[in-house]
Amino acid sequence: MLSIMHNKNFQTLIKKHCFEIIKSLMDKKINFSIVCNISCVKFEPQLPDSIRNSFNDLTLFILAGYTFESLELDSNNLYFEAGFGDDNLGSFVTTPLESIVQIILPNDIDNGSDVCLFINIMASFAPEIKSENDGINSSIKAILSNPKNHKFKK
């Protein structure tokens, strides 16, 4: 299971799936929310530490109203403008598609729970994308760390 999570082709597939869902929602003018790995998100201008430090590792952004109208999407990033803090300090946000953990729709029909359209569990673990060889190398290190397996060393 973990080996597929580090497979570059699988990561590309997940990224493309995320892109297609967001593009469809934007084209249909459907408001949505995203949960992101905040360590990958960029703000221009930078937010004050008092605001930046209030974010959780996984942070929810509600994309509605002016923020939704400001959305831009390319093959690598989702961009939007939003206001933060008590003073509604404006910042242009760049969110790499790989950092999006969930895409969520509000459930307006029965006032029930929101609907999760997309989950990328890989984005919640590490901001960097690891190569396929990283998993193999760590497996080899784990095997060779056992003294009984030193006979397998080259």
Predicted TM-score (pTM) of the model is: 0.76
Contact in structure between 101 and 30 (CB atoms under 8 Å): no
Residue % of the chain over a pLDDT of 70: 74
Is 107 strand, coil or helix?
Answer: coil
Give residue 118's pLDDT.
Answer: 95
Give residue 131's pLDDT.
Answer: 42
What is the set of domains in the chain, with CATH numbers? 2-129 (2.30.30.220)
Give residue 96's pLDDT.
Answer: 97
Task: Determine the average pLDDT of the residues in 108-115.
Answer: 76
Conformation bin of residue 65: beta by default, left when phi > 0, alpha when psi is -120 to 50: left
Give residue 41's pLDDT.
Answer: 97
Check whether 128 has a pLDDT greater than 50. Answer: no
Task: Determine the average pLDDT of the residues in 18-39.
Answer: 97
The two counts, helices (H) then strands (E), for the chain are: 5, 8
C-alpha dist (Å) from residue 9 to 4, 36, 139: 9, 21, 20
Check whether 49 has a pLDDT greater than 70. Answer: yes
